[in-house]
Amino acid sequence: MSLPRWVFPFVLGNTLTALLLALSVQFLAPRLRPVAGDQPTQARTFRTGKTPPWGELEAVEFPLADASQLDLANDQHMLPPRWFFGGATKLQLIRFLMTCDLSSRERRYLLDRTNWKVTSGGIEISPPESIVYALSSYSREKIYSVLASNPKNIPQTKPLRLPIWGMEEHLIERGFTPIEVARLRQLSYTNANRLCLADLGITKKVLGDPAFDDLLEYFYATPAYQLRLHISKDSDADELAAYWGKGGR
């Protein structure tokens, strides 16, 4: 069956582009097989085996980044903790922190207004690294979700995102000790069903340089995938149009 002329611009306009981290890769991998004739390169191409109603999807693998090119000296994730609660009043911040299930030591420091820097735009707190490290997963997730709403808090708005499933097993396989994994777990939190790490400066101190460098290599070696719809002369144009067109997906 020959394809109508409108199919190619239609498909071009509906090309699927998405960056998937390791969790997405694990979801897609069982449904993918290498394209015939492909050579194993840094960017490998895959297609679905049996053609479903949405057509054949190609997953093109490419590295997320090169850890050796990171400029950690000027990265805000490496700086001492600084939390900015934009637009918050003193009373609002006190009420919020009281709901964060803080320990007595954490509550004593964070609620002490002599440790606050009040500005016209909000309130800034620079907690000690020991306080930040000791936060429970619940406290960290709740506080950081609020901090992430303000672009001044770069570590929380753009945290290091890790696979939520199987991360600890992968780290153990890479040679991380159980203590190092536990310290990493202590500093991580979940956000939008992803495991996040914002305090890289503290992470480097508690892991040590070799383990921290290996952690960055592990993260940036995790491949991302670009998905795109593959069209061939045997593709069913009507079925694709019904699925991807108006009223479909």
pLDDT digits (tens, 9 = 90+) for 128-170: 999 999 999 999 999 999 999 999 999 999 888 877 777 788 8
How far is it, in rounded angstroms, from Cα 186 to Cα 51? 44
Are 11 and 118 within one domain? no
Answer yes or no: pTM beyond 0.95.
no
Mean pLDDT over 172-179 rounds to 91
In a domain, 232, yes or no: yes
Q: What is the domain range of residue 46?
A: 7-64+223-244
* pLDDT value for 160: 85
Tell me what the mean pLDDT of segment 123-132 comes to.
97
- Give the pLDDT score at 241: 72
Residue 149 and residue 203 share a domain? yes
From 181, 186, 169, select the one nearest 211 (Cα to Cα).
Answer: 181
* Residue 85 and residue 191 share a domain: yes
Q: Which of 41-45, 77-81, 93-97 has the lowest mean pLDDT?
A: 41-45
In a domain, 156, yes or no: yes
**CA separation for the pair 74, 86 (Å, rounded):** 24
Angle of CA points 102, 105, 111, to nearest 5°:
70
